[in-house]
Amino acid sequence: MDIGTAKASAVERAAVPHHCLDLVEPDEAFTAADFRPLALEALRAIASRGGVALLVGGTGLYLRAVARGLPLERSGADPDIRATLEARYAASGLEPLVAELAERDGPVAERIDRRNPRRVVRALERAIVTGTARPPEAEGYPAPQLWLGLAREPAEHRHAITARVEAQFAAGLLDEAAELRERYPEDLPAFSAMGYREAFDVLAGRTDIETAKARDARRTWAYARRQGTWFRSEPDIHWLEPGEGAMQRALTLVVPFHRALEHGGYAERR
């Protein structure tokens, strides 16, 4: 999934080291909770070499999970185990599940709300899969951070999105989608990403390419607006207007930030 996700090209990745790309196959479950430990590992390794990492992207949940921390569940859930536990609950009630939970993780069993069978089942499933029923902590990156954002005018933003869609189709999005369709079913969660659903519709004859491009652009614009709402809730973002002065403005923020890192190290977050 290279074109539809606008993944950094081989040339770009050769010029600047990139991390946390090509981690899983499209049919593998993968969430922000799975991404966070891998990203934190990469960030710590970069910091240990005296580097400054750029965490780049537009998915607010992933950025917040990595940088600030969120109590996220890992995708270590096992649907077969959960189905078995739910069947046991239906057949024998909650007490046997609570008793097993107490054997695996007594403190959690003592605190858990026994009026909520779903919570008991989930805790026991977590204990079986991960070895502990305790939910994950809200671990974030414990070092100084500088948040920069690009604030585009809506009309300019929509034009850029339309151009992006055109460029992706021109770069071979349909061919990429055709290759993926040969290997995986179309209803994978990964293929809900903008562009792939539209490409599959073209390949299947359900729509024409121009209609698909227009729908892709509309969906992307709606997603961009939701992103804007998300990031308005993030504190301490320095918003920059794209243009000739954006880089200079960014440098006025980054240079002193980098100097502060050199003197203060990475031990404490501020």
- Digit-coded pLDDT (tens) for 76-92: 567 889 899 999 999 99
Q: How many CB atoms lie under 10 A from the CB of residue 71?
A: 11
Whole-number pLDDT of residue 78: 78
Three-class HEC string of 126-167: HHHHHCCCCCCCCCCCCCCCCEEEECCCHHHHHHHHHHHHHH
Whole-number pLDDT of residue 264: 59
- Please check the confidence at residue 169 and state whether its pLDDT lies above 90: yes
Whole-number pLDDT of residue 98: 93
CA–CA gap between residue 232 and residue 226 (Å, rounded): 10
Whole-number pLDDT of residue 268: 41
Q: Is the Cβ–Cβ distance between 1 and 176 less than 8 Å?
A: yes
Whole-number pLDDT of residue 270: 34
Q: How confident is the model at residue 197 (pLDDT cuts 50, 70, 90)?
A: very high
Whole-number pLDDT of residue 265: 52
The residues, ordered by sequence, that sit 6+ positions from 226 with a Cβ below 8 Å of its Cβ are: none
Q: How many CB atoms lie under 10 A from the CB of residue 85?
A: 21
Q: How many CB atoms lie under 10 A from the CB of residue 141?
A: 21
State the average pLDDT over residues 160-180.
97
- Please check the confidence at residue 267 and state whether its pLDDT lies above 80: no
Q: How confident is the model at residue 136 (pLDDT cuts 50, 70, 90)?
A: low
Indicate whether this model's pTM tops 0.95.
no
Nearest to 85 by CA among 69, 99, 75, 65: 99
State the average pLDDT over residues 133-157.
84
- Digit-coded pLDDT (tens) for 221-234: 999 999 989 998 88
Whole-number pLDDT of residue 126: 84
